[in-house]
A and B are shown apart, each in its own frame.
Chain A
């Protein structure tokens, strides 16, 4: 009996120790730096050029899972959804020469990329879908990216627990050929639960990067002054890793 309680005390001490270490400033810095170590390794192993695998049509999941925000909870969104988003605009701005304001029709008329890719959620599940839309690089080139720009921020219409969703990526992923502004999934307009009418596809990062209900694309030099300063909704709220390639 004594031995068992000694083990319980040891185990509790170990867990308390982990918690203490986890919350210390040096450990927080180490965890943050580790994010960069993984990104560095991925860059060395070919992230700048590697393409995510594209699958045959036979492997498509027809009921593609919706996760996180599954709608935008406003009357304006409901009205737009019912009418087919006639007034939805995507603003491309920030550190660009020519800010753009694009309707869905404008976006549909740009050169399109169609890709059947695997979506990997941070929770562990995966789903395969066919996405269609213009490459982000096409929009950024049309707007003329300023040399000071280092990150691309995605602004969204949805809120979770009262906070506006947003995300950001670096220019390696922004200019990647498979990074697209998708308006179609599996041959149909984007469903409500998957981010209608527009969402990002950033195929070599986890699902929380793929901002849904997209309203704006903003080129910035730093993420420090945007929302909570950590580059994304989940990063700000729960400490998720900003680099989500792992």
Chain B
């Protein structure tokens, strides 16, 4: 059996390309108004929960402030990002990747198990026997694919005035358009945090083997 299914591998790399372009064009869009608010409306200085200075040019797509071009990129890449995630989630339910690897069992939530997992991570010991993912991996990947990525899509859609008119219930659940914008921003940076941690752990676990397996599929340890 392959370590990563073809569905997981294809989606992983498409999603990486989408996330990089969406994040960098998103920072360019974020530079158009440097304050974040809660609620439906927000524009006045002093009513924000966060004010930030401009993101630097090297982090932007395109490489300097250009709201129109950044929106072109952002709104284009939103399609493969959203429909790619949808396809991945559906196919992962079908091939049971979601049930098997991305959800936890009640017994895994015991403190002794969690503590052991943390200790092994701190010791940089990444062997975890016959289980594909350990507890911390399951929780992290689960939160990313079931919470952060879907929230990015829904909050993105709800910033659209036409979409929020057609599907107002979602805007209501999110607490208004400025709340949607704030949650979009928070999720984007949570995803950046995940990316940094993910890449760091791949490097510590042996980047060549890890990246090779995510391209070719690799083999599960037990069968080697």
Chain A residues with CB under 8 Å of chain B are: 11, 15, 18-19, 22, 30-31, 34, 37-38, 42, 45-47, 50-53, 55, 59, 61, 63, 65, 118, 120-128, 203-206, 234, 238-241, 244-246
Apart from the given pairs A18-B62, A53-B171, A125-B35, 20 other A-B contacts in the complex at a CB distance below 8 Å: A15-B61, A18-B73, A22-B72, A31-B76, A38-B160, A47-B162, A50-B166, A65-B43, A65-B44, A120-B161, A122-B71, A124-B30, A126-B42, A126-B43, A126-B177, A126-B178, A128-B41, A240-B68, A245-B162, A245-B163
A-B contact pairs, 15 of them (CB 8 A): A11-B58, A15-B62, A15-B63, A18-B63, A63-B44, A120-B177, A121-B33, A124-B29, A125-B42, A203-B161, A238-B66, A239-B68, A240-B71, A245-B162, A246-B163
Contact digits for B91-118, partner A, Cβ 8 Å, 1 yes 0 no: 0000000000000000000000000000
B44-74 to A contact mask, C-beta < 8 Å, 1/0: 1000000000000010011100111101110
- The answer to whether A59 and B75 touch across the interface, beta carbons within 8 angstroms, is no
Give the residues from 162 to 203 in chain B that come closer than 8 angstroms, CB to CB, to chain A.
162-168, 171, 177-178, 181
B165 touches A53 (CB 8 A): yes
Say if the beta carbon of B210 comes within 8 Å of chain A: no
Flag if B68 contacts A241 (CB, 8 Å): yes
- B residues engaging A (CB < 8 A)? 21, 29-30, 32-33, 35, 37, 40-44, 58, 61-63, 66-69, 71-73, 75-76, 79, 159-168, 171, 177-178, 181
Chain B residues lying within 8 Å of A42, measured Cβ to Cβ, are: 160, 162-163, 166
Closest to A18 in B: B61
Is A122's CB under 8 angstroms from B67's CB?
yes
A204 contacts which of B30, B44, B161 (Cβ < 8 Å)? Answer: B161
Looking across the interface, which residue of chain B has its beta carbon closest to that of A47?
A: B162
Please give me the residue from chain A that is nearest to B71 by CB atom: A241
Instruction: Indicate whether A127 sits within 8 Å of B43 (C-beta atoms), given known contacts A50-B166, A238-B68, A246-B75.
Output: yes
Out of A19, A53, A120, A246, name the residue touching B63 (CB < 8 Å).
Answer: A19
> What's the A-B contact tally at a CB cutoff of 8 Å?
127
Chain A residue nearest to B48 in the complex (CB): A125
List of A residues within 8 angstroms of B76 by Cβ: 30-31, 34
**Chain A residues in 8 Å Cβ range of B171:** 53
Task: Let me know if A51 and B165 touch, CB within 8 A.
Answer: yes
Inter-chain CA distance A65–B44, complex, in Å, is 8
Are the C-beta atoms of A118 and B166 separated by less than 8 Å? Answer: no
Closest partner residue, chain B, to A45 (CB atom): B166
Closest CB of chain B to A35's CB: distance in Å?
8
The reply to whether A38 and B75 contact each other, CB–CB distance below 8 Å, is: yes
Identify the closest chain A residue to B159 (Cβ): A120
A125/B164 in contact, CB under 8 A: no
Contact A245 B160 (CB under 8 A): yes
Could you say which of B61, B161, B181 contacts A52, with CB atoms under 8 Å apart?
Answer: B161
A52–B58 Cα distance when bound, in Å, is 38
Give the complex CA separation of A122 and B30 in angstroms. Answer: 10
- In the complex, the answer to whether B164 meets A46 with C-beta atoms within 8 Å is no
- Least CB distance from B22 to A in Å reads 13
Do the beta carbons of B67 and A123 come within 8 Å of each other? yes
Q: Are B162 and A205 within 8 A (Cβ)? A: yes
CA–CA, A108 and B44, complex, Å: 31
Residues of A close to B162: CB separation below 8 A: 42, 47, 50, 204-205, 245-246
Least distance between B159 CB and chain A CB atoms (Å): 7
Using Cβ atoms and an 8 Å threshold, which residues of chain B touch A30?
76
Chain B hits for A206, CB < 8 A:
161
Separation of A204 and B41 alpha carbons in the complex (Å): 15
User: Least Cβ distance of A115 to chain B in Å?
Assistant: 12
Q: Which residues does chain B contribute within 8 Å of A245, judged by CB atoms?
A: 160-163
Q: What is the CA–CA distance of A241 and B160 in the complex, to the nearest angstrom?
A: 13
